[in-house]
Amino acid sequence: MRDFMEHPILNGLLPHLLTVAGFLLAIFFVARLMSEKRQPSNTVAWLLAIFFINPFVVVPLYLIFGGRKLKGLIAHKQRLCPVLPGNRPIVYTGAASSTAHTASAAGACPPVGGNTVRLLTTGEEAYAALEDHIREARHSIQIMTFILGRDNVGRRIVQLLAQRAREGIKVRLMLDAVGCLFSSGSFVDPLRAAGGEVVRFLPVLPLQPRFSANLRNHRKIAIFDHQTAIIGGHNLAREYMGPTPFKKRWHDFGAVISGPAAALLNEVFLADWSFAGKADLDALHGEIQADLGAPLGSSELQVVASGPDVDGDPIYESLISMIQEAERSIWIVTPYFIPDEVLFRSLMVKARAGHDVTIIVPVRSNHRVADYARRYYTRELAKAGVRVRLFHHGMLHSKAVIVDDRLALMGSANFDLRSLLVNFEIGVLVYSEPDVLAMKTWATDLYNQSHALKPDRVKKFNLLGNVAEDLCRLLAPLL
């Protein structure tokens, strides 16, 4: 074999064959990339990768990590937003009307009234709400999370779920295969042994050719008896929540929702469970033991599921609508701020027009690359008049957008390209003024615990920092 490989003709021909194969591979890559009609920044990032890196490396990476929509799953989830009995169309005006219509047209559920909302502004509140509802559930407990920590909080939640499963409650736990890489195996065996069900969402190994390892389920939803839900940014780990204060706990945000909107969140969970657990959706619906259309309060909400399983990009398009239709103020709270050009320019124009545009981010997040990538955007926006505030009391993991004190968005999505255009995410648009004002009070408290970003903070000739910033911003569409 060695003599064959050292044959002079073969030695002279092999480099040419590899060159031709690489050229053909690059053509295939560019053709497929262009056919997918991606964001320009994402397309440019992949094109630069194929230009500077060997096609034999980039193309396999793209096939594994580059996918964005799952057409088969979109068709499978056409029942994601059923019409609930007793719910009539809600009429809005101004920005709320535009955003509600935009979100619905992009694939979100229509707004529904008759809900109750209780905000969760600390990790202790979030844990207490979760434990209370686990203990009080009468029929079913269904939870999906991106991270289940291998710590005392994660262990305690698994124990509580196992206890309720032994008592005859239907318990389902859905874990993202990457986020829960080290906690989806033996760590949750006590729940399995007690009769609970556990599934992993889109396992990376073995590789499945019809899916992308890049598509992660970042949704955090807990559903109790099909009619009460907990949503937000909290993962099930000590950094996010716990029964007692923890010095290194992150600052996160969520809500307990009851009423028709919770029933729609339940539909999102059932659709995900049917897909990940290969369960029959009709059979899952047959288990429901509640009047899901019954009004329980006065809050008006719109459930917005976004990701590879939705034909459009409803969270992203809702944000564009909220920002462009704002008349007075735009407040954004996010751990990672990496907008695309449309969102970036829209915020800049609103600030230059005299609107109150406020962005609250942590001084330093848990992802250094994301911090470098945001520097250009926050610096330029601050120059345009945006109030960029740096939260200096630990890691800020909260996600919310508040417009004109009468329209808001909460949920799992960060203000970055991965959350808005790649991940499976869940959001809830809030149209009821008392709930929006309660969110604004919470955001104002964060504002008061923050300090202003100075536009000239980055030194002009800090070569290493500037190169890192430019490189991270260039790679932002791939993060």
pLDDT at residue 334, as a whole number: 98
Are 46 and 88 part of one and the same domain?
no
Beta strands 356-362 and 337-338 are: unpaired
Are 57 and 142 part of one and the same domain?
no
Q: How far is CA 230 from CA 156, 163, 221, 262, in A?
A: 18, 20, 6, 9
| Entry pTM | 0.85
Are 37 and 125 part of one and the same domain?
no
Please report whether residue 422 resides in a domain. yes
Run means of pLDDT, 10 residues per run, the chain, 479 residues: 49 55 58 56 58 57 55 58 64 80 91 96 98 97 98 98 98 95 95 97 63 78 96 98 96 97 93 88 81 83 91 94 96 96 96 98 93 92 96 97 97 94 94 97 98 68 65 63
Rounded Cα distance, 479 and 477, in Å? 6
Are 156 and 216 part of one and the same domain?
yes
| Domain boundary, last residue among 273, 299, 325 | 299
Please report whether residue 260 resides in a domain. yes
pLDDT at residue 416, as a whole number: 94
Are 154 and 28 part of one and the same domain?
no
Phi, then psi, of 333 in degrees rounded to 5: -120, 120
Please report whether residue 89 resides in a domain. yes
Rounded Cα distance, 180 and 235, in Å? 10
pLDDT at residue 458, as a whole number: 46
pLDDT at residue 1, as a whole number: 47
Q: Give the three-state DSSP class for 91.
A: coil
pLDDT at residue 209, as a whole number: 45
Please report whether residue 39 resides in a domain. yes
| Domain boundary, last residue among 267, 299, 331 | 299
Please report whether residue 378 resides in a domain. yes
pLDDT at residue 4, as a whole number: 44
Are 248 and 380 part of one and the same domain?
no
Are 196 and 217 part of one and the same domain?
yes
Please report whether residue 163 resides in a domain. yes
For residue 353, give the CATH number of its domain: 3.30.870.10
Please choose, from the candidates 261, 196, 222, 264, the residue with its C-alpha nearest in 3D space to the C-alpha of residue 127. 222
Please report whether residue 257 resides in a domain. yes
As beta bridge partners, residue 145 has 175
Are 326 and 386 part of one and the same domain?
yes
Are 287 and 391 part of one and the same domain?
no
pLDDT at residue 235, as a whole number: 98
Please report whether residue 98 resides in a domain. no
Domain count for the chain: 3
| Domain boundary, last residue among 299, 334, 350 | 299
Are 282 and 148 part of one and the same domain?
yes
Are 55 and 161 part of one and the same domain?
no
Are 61 and 78 part of one and the same domain?
no
DSSP collapsed to 3 states, 182-216: CCCCHHHHHHHHCCCEEEEECCCCCCCCCCCCCCC
Domain span including residue 443: 314-478
